[in-house]
Structure 1
């Protein structure tokens, strides 16, 4: 067993314990203390490293010889990073419109990159086909118990940092893996009563559509600019969590998410994807205040935690292009 696999067998993980920062600027907007759980500083650029790292380590222990992952970007980077650390080859399948910066990052991690289909769901079909090869294992971007189990570490870190539960927790929903993992983590630390505000952008709102219908819904297409939220069908476990936890599903428009990205860059000097902007928009758009006024959140929240999920598919030029596309100066 080489050194990397030996470390894996000893139970070490690939993710970092990320900072929990009090944001003066966002606290001023919402009128109560806002903490930022900064998953954007993970070595693979997003929270995905928690769950995918855990999954990949478990597969390595079982003798996996090649990892394959379909991704809108962030899951692929996490899988490629883990594969390099484990000394296992990786193939990452992305939709054809994937960010070139993500492609370069994946290649820099030593992964083979294939571009297939217009959306993640189509890339995923190719990945599932590749995973039929002997010794190859498909890395699920969001829909697997090991992935959710890995994400619970985020809540354990919150418990260690805060001691007492926050008044609400805000996160973005794509395929539902983060929501499922955070929900499990809240139950694990005895915080299952903490409300989760689950944010999506219109056009990538498979969770909200499922909540409204009371069953899984497959969107006809992903029309949002937040492509990393782009699973046309959310994980079944995410919908099940609605029955077990206090989850408020909300949508914002693309322009609100992109505006939140720009404001967050100005306020905190951190650049994140529109998918992350969906969560930040809960603060910047006044949504949390409206939820309080409607009685859906307590009017006296002691604190709010926003999970800054990060993202690799963004740079200054891409932000300007998105603003121009949406008619923002």
Structure 2
């Protein structure tokens, strides 16, 4: 740690970066009953902390290396840091970005003087391509996280935190992608104030550091979710793993819904919009408070960035209330008889209804999909379910059902009679031109599509719910075809949301 503290104290980050404020989150602190502060790295010149590590690394380039130019691979934030630093230093910069990178980040890199090359569906493919270009053309590769100078540059965030809040600090929550920010902050904080807990936070769908620590060494994840693209890293670095393994006190994983709720919290308190990775640490902090595992004292979350496409906010707004447990989604079976709706609404009392979907179907029972606003989280949800079941109504809790939240809520009433051999699958693919066509062509005409729901959610990946008629004797061939398409998929034929609202009679 001594070497890293020396590197942090002598870093060159302030030639381009700024000391960002540590702001109190007054509204959230009052609601959760503990002082919460937010480190505003979203206020950097490139709207992300990444400028610190990128410039500190590049300031150590020799004259010969500067003449060769630099190259990096990044989903956007590191790319902007490298581009800005290179422009300031008069160095050529080539930036390899995944084809799924939000347009706002691509345009920002171009404005800062970087030469953008789009390649691959994710960071790992982009990094491999960048390494090949570096070898071919002699560029100096600037790693986004697994480099001591990069780690030291990011560690200046920890140095600022201790200067800005010399009092009691219970824990510092840090987003983890490749691990550079967490490693740098932990190295500095644990050297000077080892009593402060440093806690890493990862998305459940991209928990590469948690997997590495469990395995005892960095391991590649089979799949990486792209919602929080700034931390969508398949495998952490060797050096960042070594530091995080020894210095982090814990790693918390959170859902995309919880990240959306944290984005809303930041907006409510600061009137600022964080990118998903930027709100990740606050989501972990909230998780610990709600679970009763947060330490006493002030709690600090690092807002790591604000580079988010505006159209993604549609998805964030839709999921935020579920993430903060402010909405329950329920499938309810009521009698198909006059007055049933009125009786059902009376059971809910004066609670606000956020969604109510129904379509008439023959029979004695009606199935409705209803959203109910909550003020007391899961406790209130369970109270509602108990009241409904006590009055003879069938209830299925859909609040954490991914198919219900993404698709079925928009498709209620789609039952048909006499449809044989229907299987239902959920597919995920990169949101880029040609991806949907590739998916459809991969199915071919041997099987009839009986249900299809696609909706652009403003994210980096598209999601489709598909019903396909597959006779039993052709299923082996069918699975071989969808495996060959290469997109992640899940069999949802037994999903209760599908069976209650969409399955053939």
For the superposition of Structure 1 and Structure 2, which TM-score range results when normalised by the shorter chain? 0.7 to 0.9
Which aligned pairs between 1:145-294 and structure 2 lie closer than 5 A?
145-188=148-191, 190-284=192-286, 286-292=287-293
Match of 2:31 among 2, 8, 29: 29
Which aligned pairs between 1:58-207 and structure 2 lie closer than 5 A?
58-59=60-61, 63-65=65-67, 66-133=69-136, 136-188=139-191, 190-207=192-209
Is the Cα–Cα contact under 8 Å of residues 83 and 113 in structure 2 kept in the other structure? yes
Which aligned pairs between 1:46-65 and structure 2 lie closer than 5 A?
46-59=48-61, 63-65=65-67
Question: What SS class does the counterpart of residue 47 from structure 2 fall into?
Answer: coil
Separation (CA, whole Å) in 1 of partners of 2:195 and 2:244? 12
Is the Cα–Cα contact under 8 Å of residues 162 and 189 in structure 2 kept in the other structure? no
Deviations 1:258-315 (A, max 9, x none): 221123212221111111222121244x4334252xxxx43xx120111111132x14
Separation (CA, whole Å) in 1 of partners of 2:12 and 2:150? 19
Separation (CA, whole Å) in 1 of partners of 2:292 and 2:241? 21
Is the Cα–Cα contact under 8 Å of residues 201 and 254 in structure 2 kept in the other structure? yes
Distance apart, 1:242 and its partner CA? 4.6
Distance apart, 1:250 and its partner CA? 1.1
Separation (CA, whole Å) in 1 of partners of 2:138 and 2:244? 36
Deviations 1:240-265 (A, max 9, x none): 23553242111111111122112321
Question: What SS class does the counterpart of residue 305 from structure 1 fall into?
Answer: strand
Question: What SS class does the counterpart of residue 206 from structure 2 fall into?
Answer: coil
Separation (CA, whole Å) in 2 of partners of 1:10 and 1:95? 29
Q: Normalising by the residue count of structure 2, what TM-score does the alignment of the two structures yield?
A: 0.58
Structure number with higher relative contact order (C-alpha < 8 Å, ≥ 6 residues apart): 1
Question: What SS class does the counterpart of residue 21 from structure 1 fall into?
Answer: strand
Is the Cα–Cα contact under 8 Å of residues 64 and 136 in structure 1 kept in the other structure? no
Question: What SS class does the counterpart of residue 122 from structure 1 fall into?
Answer: helix
Q: Which runs of 5+ in 2 are unaligned?
A: 1-10, 320-401, 410-505
Alignment size in residue pairs: 312
Two-structure CA RMSD over aligned residues (Å): 2.3
Q: Relative to structure 1, is the Cα distance of residues 258 and 60 closer, same or farther in structure 2, using a 3 angstrom cutoff?
A: farther
Distance apart, 1:214 and its partner CA? 2.9
Q: Normalising by the residue count of structure 1, what TM-score does the alignment of the two structures yield?
A: 0.87
Separation (CA, whole Å) in 1 of partners of 2:292 and 2:51? 31
Work out which of the two has the higher radius of gyration on C-alpha atoms and give 1 or 2: 2
Separation (CA, whole Å) in 1 of partners of 2:292 and 2:240? 21
Separation (CA, whole Å) in 1 of partners of 2:217 and 2:74? 24
Q: Which runs of 5+ in 1 are unaligned?
A: 1-8
Deviations 1:123-154 (A, max 9, x none): 00111112225652111111100011112211
Which structure shows the bigger proportion of residues in strand conformation?
2
* Greater Cα offset, 28-37 or 67-76: 28-37
Q: Relative to structure 1, is the Cα distance of residues 147 and 10 closer, same or farther in structure 2, using a 3 angstrom cutoff?
A: closer
Separation (CA, whole Å) in 2 of partners of 1:239 and 1:37? 23
Match of 2:306 in 1: 311
Q: Relative to structure 1, is the Cα distance of residues 147 and 26 closer, same or farther in structure 2, using a 3 angstrom cutoff?
A: same
Separation (CA, whole Å) in 2 of partners of 1:262 and 1:38? 15
